[in-house]
A and B are shown apart, each in its own frame.
Chain A
C-alpha cells in the first residue's frame, strides 16, 4: 500500500538543501585552503598554536609530503591533505585535494562568490522550511519526541546497532533516534554553522561589538564553523546509509513523488 509521506514543499526544500549543502561544503574547503590552519581565540596570532593545520614540506629524499597536525599530533597525509596530485600529475602543495573543492583549482575569490550565493539560498530555504514545517504542524506532529519515543529510546538504540528497522505501518512515523538526529541538525547544527559564518564577517561583528567573543572570538568561530561542517557531513553519511538499508528506491521515491510504500501483508490480528 502506498501512503503520501512527504509534502511537495518539503520535498522541494529537501533537494534545494542538498544542493546548497554540497556546494557550501566544497566551496568552504576551497576557502579553507587559503589559510589551512584553525586557531582558538580572537586572532590567529595570539601565542597559541593552531589546533588543526594542514601543511606540506620536503622529506629527507626531497619529495613533497603532506602533513596534518591535529592538537599537536602529526600525521602523514600525503596524497590527500597537504600535498596531492596537481593538473600535471605531479604532487603540489594543497590543503584539501582538488576533487573535494569547488572550484577545483585554488581560487579563493570564485569560491567566495559561490559560497555566499549558496549561503543566501540556503538561509532563505531553511527559513522557508521552518515556517512551512511549523505552520503545517510537521515539526509538532512528526519531529518532536513524544512519550512513546521516550519509552522506546533504548530499544531503538539496540535496533539501530543491529541495523534492524521498523517495517509495515511502524515504519511510517520517524523513530526516536531519527527524530533526535533531524532535530539536532535542524535546530542546533544548521543554525550554529550559519551563526559562525556570520561571526567571520567584519561588518556583522560591528553591529553588536563583542558578540563574537561569546563564542570564543573570530578564530574560534572559524574553527566551530569547520567542525560543524564535518559533523553535518557525518550526519549525511549516516542519513544516506539509513536510506540505503531501509529501502533505497522506496525512500528516494518518497522524497521525489511523495509516495512511500508500506508492506501491510504481515499485519497482526487480521
Chain B
C-alpha cells in the first residue's frame, strides 16, 4: 500500500461527495422522523442527527470486501455503505421489500451484498460477532478488515472488554470505532465511566488507539485512513474514538430530561454539516448550484424511497414463521 492511501483525497469532487452523503443521511432521517409522527414507521427510531461525520468519514475508506458491524443507530451506516435507501425505508415500513424483509425494522438493517452485518440492538452485542468475522478472515488469510461500530455506552459492557482482549490476543484485523456521543441513552459519560477518556481503555489490551473530533468529517476520514492502513499492514486491531454529539433525542420516546436545551443548542452550532459546508464555502469549494443540486437529488431519492415503501407489499401472515431455520433449497 502506498503512503497516499493513508491521506484523504481532498479533491473538490471528493469533498462534495462527503457533504452530499452527510446531507443525504440528515434529510433522509428528517423524513423518517416525519413518517414516524405520521405513524408510517413504528417501533424504536434512533436518529443519527449530529453524528453523520463518523459514518461518512469511516465507511467510504473501507473496501467492498471489508465487513461492517453496526448498532441500532445505523441508518447512516447502511446508506453510506450502499444499502439502497428504498430498501432501508421499506424495512422501517415493515414491508417485505425492506432490506430485512420487514423482520428487523429500523434497528436491524442487514445487507449481505454489501457485507453489512446489522443493526445490533443489544449494546455491545455486535463486538463478539466482529471478533468472529475477523477470526475467520485471519484463519483463511483473507485481506479483509472488519469495522465494528459501537457507542461509548457499550464500553461498560463485559462483551466490550472480552472482545478487545480477544482481538489483541489473537491478532485480529478489527477496526473498533467508538461513536462517543456523550450519553448512553440518558446517562452522561461521567455518570457511567470511571475513566471518561475512552480511547485510553484500548491501551490495557495493547491496542493502538486514537481519538478524533467526530464532528469533523475530514478528521474522521484522515484518522480512518491511518487506522485502516495499520490494520491491513499489521493484521492487528486498532481503536478509533470519534467524539461526537447526538443532537436529537435517544429515540422518539425520549423527553431529554437529562440535558439542558442550551447544551444541545451549543452543539447545534458545531454540527458536522454546518461546519463542513461553512468550511467549503469559505474556501470557495462549493457553489450554491452544487448545494441546490445535492438537495434536489437527495429530495428525489427520498421521494422515490417513500413511494417505493408505500407501494411495498406486506408479507403474508402465513409466512410468519419462515426463516427461523434455513429452508430446504429448490
Partners in one complex: no
